Amino acid sequence: MEIEIERNLVMPGDVVPCPTGSMPGYGTYQNEVGEIVSNVMGYPAMYNRLVCVNSLRGCYIGETGNVVIGRISQVGNKRWKVDIGASQEAALQLSSIDLPTGEHRIRSEEDQLHMREYFNHNDLLSAEVQSKSQEGKAINLQTRSSKFGKLKNGMLVVVSPNLVARMRQHFCQLNNEVDIIFGRNGWIWVYYNNTNELEVPLIRRQQIVRISCLLKLMNKALVMISPEKIQQVFERTSDIELEDLLAESTLERIKDIDAVE
């Protein structure tokens, strides 16, 4: 159960006020005297006896079960290395992906030769965090579901990971028929889902660009990102032309929507 300890900002080197017997969690460390000191700039929170400091900004720290979006940076020996904006590249094992034929079998030498047909260098993909190895904190990904896999027909927007909270559904469709995937690592994919048509129609592309711009504005204004919030922001700025969307004046309009400090 989370209890927030007074909404006061702590900085690196500050002692976090907490009852005796608490244990240091992430964002804190214990110094020689035994006090719990903060590592980062953020707001402290207490989970039972664990004291943590939620950093305002930082690179993504993976948790098992998170949906993330990544880009293949290396095709290696029976696995791919994926850049997900964390402190280390994540690994996607060859055994963790679904074969296109849907078979369940042990991967053979043949499969290793065909790795580039599944995912090649610089491809974008959506995946789920399978596990985190204890030493070195490397993240392992998996795409064992039809909803995960290579991404097409869309636009990537990178926001701060702290703004993307845990949602019931990470794959949604917004009111104006634009599909969206929220990656917990702050990478958001805005796309068009209809695979029947050869080309994405112009009006869909404009909608995709509009939503991408709104996401960039929300990142700048530090607004939590979720489908409802995007809807609110969309309504507030529906009168502005697409070319003028990314301006200071638009930022003012959305700053007060439940801004996160």
CB under 8 A: which stretch of 56-64, 146-154, 171-179, 199-207 binds another protein?
Answer: 56-64
113 to each of 9, 78, 99, 108, 233, how far by Cα in Å? 53, 9, 14, 9, 47
Determine if 131 is a binding residue for another protein (CB under 8 A): no
Determine if 136 is a binding residue for another protein (CB under 8 A): yes
Q: Phi then psi for 255, rounded to 5 degrees?
A: -65, -30
Q: Which amino acid is at 32?
A: E
Determine if 261 is a binding residue for another protein (CB under 8 A): yes
Cα angle 253, 258, 261; round to 5 = 100
Instruction: Tell which positions 16-45 bind another protein, by CB under 8 A.
Output: 27, 29, 37, 39-42
Write down the least CB distance from residue 174 to another protein, Å.
Answer: 26
Determine if 83 is a binding residue for another protein (CB under 8 A): yes
Q: Which is nearer to another protein, 35 or 98 (by Cβ)? A: 35
Q: Which is nearer to another protein, 81 or 205 (by Cβ)? A: 81
Is there a contact between 38 and 10 (Cβ–Cβ < 8 Å)?
yes
Pick one of 89, 123, 128, 179: the residue that binds another protein (CB under 8 A).
89
Q: Which is nearer to another protein, 66 or 207 (by Cβ)? A: 66
Pick one of 50, 56, 75, 156: the residue that binds another protein (CB under 8 A).
56
Is there a contact between 50 and 7 (Cβ–Cβ < 8 Å)?
no
Determine if 58 is a binding residue for another protein (CB under 8 A): yes
Determine if 226 is a binding residue for another protein (CB under 8 A): no
Taking alpha carbons only, the member of 106, 103, 75, 107 closest to residue 89 is: 75
Q: Which amino acid is at 190?
A: V
Determine if 186 is a binding residue for another protein (CB under 8 A): no
Determine if 237 is a binding residue for another protein (CB under 8 A): no
Determine if 88 is a binding residue for another protein (CB under 8 A): yes
Determine if 137 is a binding residue for another protein (CB under 8 A): yes
Is there a contact between 13 and 37 (Cβ–Cβ < 8 Å)?
yes
Spatial distance between the Cα atoms of 149 and 151, rounded to a whole number of angstroms: 6
Contacts of 204 (CB under 8 A, 6+ apart): 177, 178, 192
DSSP H or E run through 211: helix 202-220
Determine if 251 is a binding residue for another protein (CB under 8 A): no
Residues at the contact surface with another protein, assessed by CB under 8 A: 9, 11-13, 27, 29, 37, 39-42, 55-59, 83, 87-89, 136-138, 261
